[in-house]
Structure 1
Amino acid sequence: MNREAFRERIIRLNCALDLERKAVGIKFLHTKEDYHFADAKPVTVPINYCVMVRLATQGKALKADGNNLACLAGARALGLKEIDAYHRSGQNGKKLGLYHDMPTAKRARDGMSYCDHQAFGIMVKPLEDYDSEPDVVIIVSHPYNIMRIVQGYSYYSGIQSAFKMTGNQAICSESTAYPYLSNDINVSLLCIGTRHKAGWSDQELAVGFPISLFRKIVDGVMNTVNIMDNNQKKEIIERKLLENEIDDLEIKYDYNYYR
């Protein structure tokens, strides 16, 4: 997707959804050279990856290497730090009290997505700030918007039958590593760690998907506005479309599949 088409779909997404936070793009920086040229401010003190994502939803552009991620679980999930045998075995999850016995802890750990590459760093910034495509898109919002994104996905791809969620490692594993590795969408209920560290509200969820799905998801959301959204939401969408001179979607009032 060229830059102009990419930016237009970002505008369309913001017209169709009432996003209080900016959509975020994630880019893996595989080499030291990639990190050096990445257009974002390097973090100067250790920071949690999920906090970087939260700051990006507020307009900040940051990059960090594996040594500057305060949460080692996040660094391991993103492929910036090697996973040791203790964590791979599930012992850490059992010790923390996340699972009631070792077989459950091991099964949960084996089911979590951890990037198997060895990247140097990662860049996290608002999707609209990218000149070239990132690897993964993350949107944190209320359930209605997450529903609409999944409906947009389903418009072209049908049912996603492999959602992966445990309520743990929500931003790093469920919203970044899994969409990247599976090349598919995932919804996360978030986790206590990121809700505490990043300060998400109790009403927020996350959705992550690879950039390869971005065009179809946005187009799917747009193509289902008339049959999904109510008149009140349609009025807001129509106003934003007119403000952005987008005239290829006719808003139909009193027109829904459920009426």
Structure 2
Amino acid sequence: MASCDVDGYKELSQKIKDKLGLEKSPVAVKLVLKEEDIPEGIPKIDETIRHCEMVQKAAQGATFYATVAEQKCKGGASAIGLMEAPEKVKTGEMYHSLKRFSSLGSAKRTMDAIPKIDPIMRAIAYAPLETTPFDPDVVVIIANPKQAMEMAQAMVYTLGGRVEADFAGIQSLCADAVAGPYTRKRPNITLGCSGSRGYADIKPDEVIVGMNGENIGCFVNALDAL
């Protein structure tokens, strides 16, 4: 945020919500490398749920952090750097057994292509953007297609180019919306996955946008200018 003239995350979040007409808050996500870097005063979540459910909780106002022990979906936890992927996830065997792929080879090729963060993180912190007590590494927004279109227009407003949506219908809020923007330093739009729609109540008319936190101020300036 330092490279752009914005007056803090509260105002920034309000501009996003007002401009787009969002019903839920943008979610600030911080990847915590060491235990001592867990933002002070943030409680640990007191239940074991999936990363996508944690994003949804933060979008509705909750602030907390989670270690791998609180992450129910180990595939998601591995995508965001909290652990090594379970062998059956890594090889694609799990998704093949769920009949998501016609062959083990197609499942493995897909898993090889999914963005992942090196498994070195100690925790993940989540908060609504307007009240975040930390600088986010990634900002995740749950939106409808029209709102996502307007975000895409803001993404190309300054430098031009194209927005490339990269997804496969699996590991959406973890790999697509967090790991991808974090590792590739560019935004991504994803259509959700069976897990996030089944467990995290992502609606049929909602999509997910993930953006690198360092660029969020410039994005809001562009959104404001349109």
Fold shared by both chains (TM-score > 0.5): yes
The 8 Å contact of residues 152 and 163 in structure 2, kept in 1 or not, is answered as no
Q: Which has the larger radius of gyration?
A: 1
Partners in 2 of 1:152 and 1:127 — Cα distance?
18
Structure 1 segments of 4+ aligned residues over 4 angstroms from their partners: none
**Deviation for aligned residue 1:198:** 0.9
**Residue aligned with 1:20, SS:** coil
TM-score by length of 1: 0.81
Aligned residues: 223
TM-score by length of 2: 0.92
**Deviation for aligned residue 1:115:** 0.6
**Residue aligned with 1:63, SS:** strand
Equivalent in the alignment of 1:135: 137
Instruction: Give the direction of change, closer, same or farther, for the CA distance of 1:94–1:109 in structure 2 (3 Å limit).
Output: same
Instruction: Give the direction of change, closer, same or farther, for the CA distance of 1:77–1:95 in structure 2 (3 Å limit).
Output: same
1:1-259 to structure 2, matched below 5 A, reads 1=1, 4-35=7-38, 37-160=39-162, 162-224=164-226
Counterpart code for 1:71: C
**Deviation for aligned residue 1:223:** 1.7
**Deviation for aligned residue 1:60:** 0.7
The 8 Å contact of residues 41 and 63 in structure 1, kept in 2 or not, is answered as yes
Instruction: Give the direction of change, closer, same or farther, for the CA distance of 1:180–1:95 in structure 2 (3 Å limit).
Output: same
Counterpart code for 1:47: I
5+ residue gaps in structure 1?
225-259
The 8 Å contact of residues 40 and 125 in structure 1, kept in 2 or not, is answered as no
**Deviation for aligned residue 1:6:** 4.0
The 8 Å contact of residues 90 and 106 in structure 1, kept in 2 or not, is answered as yes
Partners in 1 of 2:29 and 2:103 — Cα distance?
35
Counterpart code for 1:21: K
Partners in 2 of 1:221 and 1:112 — Cα distance?
29
Counterpart code for 1:9: L
Q: Which has the higher contact order (CA 8 A, sep 6+)?
A: 2
* Identical aligned residues as a percent: 27
Partners in 2 of 1:131 and 1:43 — Cα distance?
16
More helix by share: 1
The 8 Å contact of residues 28 and 138 in structure 2, kept in 1 or not, is answered as yes
Instruction: Give the direction of change, closer, same or farther, for the CA distance of 1:38–1:74 in structure 2 (3 Å limit).
Output: farther
